Amino acid sequence: MNNVNIVFLIGKSGSGKTSLMNELVENNHFKKLNEVTTRPKRTHETNEYLFVDDDDFKNADDYKKIIQHCKWYLVVWNFG
Protein backbone atom coordinates (compact mmCIF):
# COMPACT_ATOMS: atom_id res chain seq x y z
CA MET A 1 0.00 0.00 0.00
CA ASN A 2 1.34 3.44 -0.93
CA ASN A 3 1.60 6.24 1.58
CA VAL A 4 -0.57 9.21 0.71
CA ASN A 5 -0.12 12.75 1.94
CA ILE A 6 -3.29 14.80 2.25
CA VAL A 7 -3.20 18.60 2.37
CA PHE A 8 -6.11 20.56 3.80
CA LEU A 9 -6.56 24.15 2.62
CA ILE A 10 -8.30 25.99 5.43
CA GLY A 11 -9.16 29.68 5.49
CA LYS A 12 -11.87 32.27 5.56
CA SER A 13 -14.28 32.69 2.69
CA GLY A 14 -12.57 34.53 -0.15
CA SER A 15 -9.04 33.87 1.14
CA GLY A 16 -7.93 32.01 -2.02
CA LYS A 17 -8.30 28.34 -1.06
CA THR A 18 -9.93 27.37 -4.35
CA SER A 19 -7.46 29.40 -6.44
CA LEU A 20 -4.52 27.73 -4.69
CA MET A 21 -6.09 24.29 -5.10
CA ASN A 22 -6.70 24.88 -8.80
CA GLU A 23 -3.08 25.99 -9.28
CA LEU A 24 -1.74 22.92 -7.48
CA VAL A 25 -3.95 20.57 -9.50
CA GLU A 26 -3.19 22.27 -12.85
CA ASN A 27 0.55 21.95 -12.26
CA ASN A 28 0.16 18.22 -11.49
CA HIS A 29 1.44 18.58 -7.95
CA PHE A 30 -1.77 17.26 -6.40
CA LYS A 31 -5.00 15.48 -7.20
CA LYS A 32 -8.27 16.91 -5.89
CA LEU A 33 -10.30 14.54 -3.73
CA ASN A 34 -14.04 14.25 -4.22
CA GLU A 35 -16.04 16.31 -1.76
CA VAL A 36 -19.22 14.95 -0.22
CA THR A 37 -21.82 16.93 1.71
CA THR A 38 -25.30 16.58 3.15
CA ARG A 39 -26.00 20.32 3.02
CA PRO A 40 -28.58 21.62 0.55
CA LYS A 41 -27.34 22.28 -2.98
CA ARG A 42 -27.08 25.96 -3.86
CA THR A 43 -28.67 27.12 -7.12
CA HIS A 44 -25.34 28.05 -8.78
CA GLU A 45 -23.52 24.81 -7.90
CA THR A 46 -22.85 22.11 -10.45
CA ASN A 47 -20.35 19.32 -9.75
CA GLU A 48 -18.40 20.86 -6.87
CA TYR A 49 -19.75 18.33 -4.36
CA LEU A 50 -21.42 14.98 -4.30
CA PHE A 51 -24.70 15.69 -2.49
CA VAL A 52 -25.93 12.75 -0.40
CA ASP A 53 -28.49 12.20 2.32
CA ASP A 54 -27.63 11.61 5.98
CA ASP A 55 -27.95 7.82 5.72
CA ASP A 56 -25.49 7.58 2.81
CA PHE A 57 -23.05 9.85 4.61
CA LYS A 58 -23.24 7.87 7.84
CA ASN A 59 -22.75 4.65 5.87
CA ALA A 60 -19.55 6.02 4.32
CA ASP A 61 -18.37 7.31 7.72
CA ASP A 62 -18.70 3.80 9.16
CA TYR A 63 -16.16 2.56 6.63
CA LYS A 64 -13.65 5.36 7.33
CA LYS A 65 -14.24 6.98 3.94
CA ILE A 66 -15.08 10.38 5.39
CA ILE A 67 -12.20 12.58 6.49
CA GLN A 68 -13.94 15.56 8.02
CA HIS A 69 -17.21 16.12 9.87
CA CYS A 70 -18.30 19.69 10.53
CA LYS A 71 -21.13 21.14 12.58
CA TRP A 72 -22.29 24.61 11.55
CA TYR A 73 -24.21 26.55 14.20
CA LEU A 74 -27.51 24.77 14.92
CA VAL A 75 -27.61 22.90 11.62
CA VAL A 76 -25.50 19.79 11.09
CA TRP A 77 -24.11 19.41 7.60
CA ASN A 78 -21.55 16.76 6.90
CA PHE A 79 -18.57 17.28 4.59
CA GLY A 80 -15.97 14.81 3.46
pLDDT tens profile 1-54: 567 777 888 888 899 988 998 999 998 878 887 788 888 888 888 777 888 888
- Residue 71 C-alpha from the chain's centroid: 14
Confidence (pTM): 0.54
* Strand, coil or helix: 40: coil
Distance of alpha carbon 58 from alpha carbon 52, whole angstroms: 10
Pick the closest to residue 32 from 19, 22, 44 (CA basis): 22
Q: Is pLDDT above 80 for 80?
A: no
Q: What is the pLDDT of residue 18?
A: 87
pLDDT at residue 74 greater than cutoff 90: no
Instruction: Give the burial class of 78: count Cβ atoms within 10 A of its Cβ; 0-12 exposed, 13-18 middle, 19 or more buried.
Output: buried
Quick one: pLDDT at residue 77?
60
